Structure 1
Amino acid sequence: MEYLVTMVTRVPDGTTEREVAEVRAREAAHSHELAARGRLLRLWRPPLGPGEWRSIDLFDDEDPEALERTLAAMPLRVWRTDEPTELGPTPPILAGARSRSRRTARST
C-alpha cells in the first residue's frame, strides 16, 4: 500500500549545529537505504519558511503498522511529526506504468 507522509521537523532550541548535521547525515543514509529497498518511492521538499524543515514523501509499505515501524526507525523522528495518508489502490493502467518505471530505474 502506498502512503503519502507529510513530515515536519522542529529542532529543539539549544541543539548544536554538529548534532543537527549528524542526525541529518544519518537520515540521508537511512532514506537512501529505504529507497534502495523500494520503501521510499519519492521525496519532495516544498518551499520553506525560516527555521522550517518539511518534506512530503511517498512510501510503499505493507500496512499502517509496518509504515509506523519504518517511520519510527528514521533518525529525524526524534524531532519530527509525521502525518500519513493512505492512498487508494493504483488504477491498473497506472500500475503497469509504475512497474515499468521501477524496472527502468533499477537497471540504470
Structure 2
Amino acid sequence: MEFLVDMVTSVPEGTSEEAVAEIRAREAARARELAAQGRLLRLWRPPLAPGEWRTWGLFSADDAEHLEQVLASMPLRVWRHDTVTALSPHPSDPGL
C-alpha cells in the first residue's frame, strides 16, 4: 500500500541549534535507510508559512500498522505530527 504523509514538525522552544542539527542529521540518515528499503518513495516540500517546518512524504508499507512502525522509527517523530492518507490506485492513472 502507498500512503501520503503530511509531516509537521514543531521544535520545542528552547531547543539548542546543535540539538536540532543533530536530530536532523539522524533523520536524514534514517530517510536514506527507508528509501533503500523501498519504504520511503518520495519527499516534497509544500509551500510553507514563515517559520513552518513541513514535509509531504510518499511511503510504501504493508498496512497502516506497518506504516506506523516506519514513521515511529524516524528521529524527528518526537517533535512531529503526522497526518496519514491511504492511497489507492486510480483507474485513469497514467503510471499504470
TM-score (norm 2): 0.92
For the residues of structure 1 that align with 2:90 and 2:28, how far apart are their CA atoms?
28
Q: Who is 2:16 aligned against?
A: 16
Which has the larger displacement, 83-92 or 48-57?
A: 83-92
- SS state at 1:55 partner: strand
Q: How far is 1:90 from its partner?
A: 5.8
* Counterpart-to-counterpart distance in 1, 2:17 and 2:71: 23
User: 1:94: Cα distance to partner?
Assistant: 2.5
Q: Could you report, residue by residue, the CA deviation over 1:15-54 in whole angstroms, capped at 9, with x for unpaired residues?
A: 0000000000000000011011111000001232222110
Q: Name the structure 1 match of 2:34.
A: 34
- Structure 2: segments with no counterpart, 5+ residues: none
Count of aligned pairs: 95
2:95 is paired with a residue whose SS is: helix
Cα distance between partner residues in 2 of 1:90 and 1:27 = 32
Measure the CA separation in 2 of the matches of 1:39 and 1:58. 9
Instruction: Give the aligned partner of residue 54 of structure 2.
Output: 54
- For structure 1, the 5+ residue unaligned runs are 96-108
Structure 1 position 62, deviation (Å): 0.2
Distance in 2, matches of 1:52 and 1:23, equals 17
Residues 90/40 of structure 1: CA separation in 2 closer, same or farther (3 Å cut): farther
Residue identity matched to 2:87: L
Please identify which structure carries the higher helix content.
1
In the other structure, the counterpart of 2:81 is 81
Q: Report the residue type matching 1:59 in the other structure.
A: F
Tell me the residue number matched to 1:67.
67
Cα RMSD of the aligned pairs, angstroms, is: 1.5
Aligned-residue offset at 1:93: 6.4
